[in-house]
Amino acid sequence: MKLGVLFSGGKDSSYALYKARNEVKVLITLDSKNKDSFMFHTPIDKVQELSKKINLPLIKVKTEGRKEEELEDLKKAIKKAINEYQIEGVVTGAVASTYQASRIQKICDELEIYCFNPLWLKNQEELLREIVELKFKIKIVKVAADGLDESWIGKVIDKKNLEKLIVLSKKYRFSISGEGGEIETEILDGPIFR
């Protein structure tokens, strides 16, 4: 089955791509002007460079990032992937956000294609441990949670930093995977690079 991956260059979309890698024909990215988008990861300034390292074409569509309206831009991007790459399904990096997953599923239903969420409801601590074990090199690029200060920006999530993040997430009660925007990440290296 030909698939497109909703790709931000962050850890979850990169790991979802890894899980579906043999079937993926195109990366799909939404470039939101809204830094606090409800749907899309920001910043995404490295996706063009990453698509070259991954050796997959990229469809990148701009959006103003207005709540709910940005879904029409996502639908346009997926339609473009259907037309240009004949994809039959979309892969997401959704872990726990029903808000995101339900809206993407609705778009896929309307376009009559499959929606795959390989990380859905996975234990978030286990998820990060798997990513580290598979030798993904992931950098934190944004923080927005009590317990995480500016000193975390630029840090790589390795075994040592992961343990520190786990302790802080339990103490301050934030999502360790950053599913609520607590952290944003960027892939630097990993098994998806060709």
Q: What are phi and psi of 29, to 5 degrees?
A: -130, 135
Sign of the alpha-carbon dihedral angle for 87, 130, 184, 194: negative
Task: Give the pLDDT score at 34.
Answer: 66
Q: How many CA atoms lie within 13 A of 145 on its CB side?
A: 25
Domains of the chain: 3-116 (3.40.50.620), 124-189 (3.90.1490.10)
Q: ω before 118 within 30° of 0 (cis)?
A: no
Task: Give the pLDDT score at 33.
Answer: 76
Instruction: In whole angstroms, give the CA distance from residue 107 to residue 168.
Output: 36
Terminal Cα distance for the chain, rounded = 21
Q: What is the pLDDT along the chain (194 residues), one digit of tens a residue?
A: 999 999 999 999 999 999 999 999 999 999 877 666 666 765 667 899 999 999 999 999 988 877 778 899 999 999 999 999 999 999 999 998 888 899 999 999 999 999 999 999 999 999 999 999 999 999 999 999 999 999 999 999 999 999 999 999 999 999 988 877 889 899 999 999 97
Residue entry with tokens 């993926």: 24
pLDDT tens, position by position, 75-131: 999 999 999 999 999 999 999 888 889 999 999 999 999 999 999 999 999 999 999
CB atoms within 10 A of CB 28: 26
Residues 6+ apart with CB under 8 A from 167: none
Residue entry with tokens 């778009």: 107
Contact 182, 144 (CB under 8 A): yes
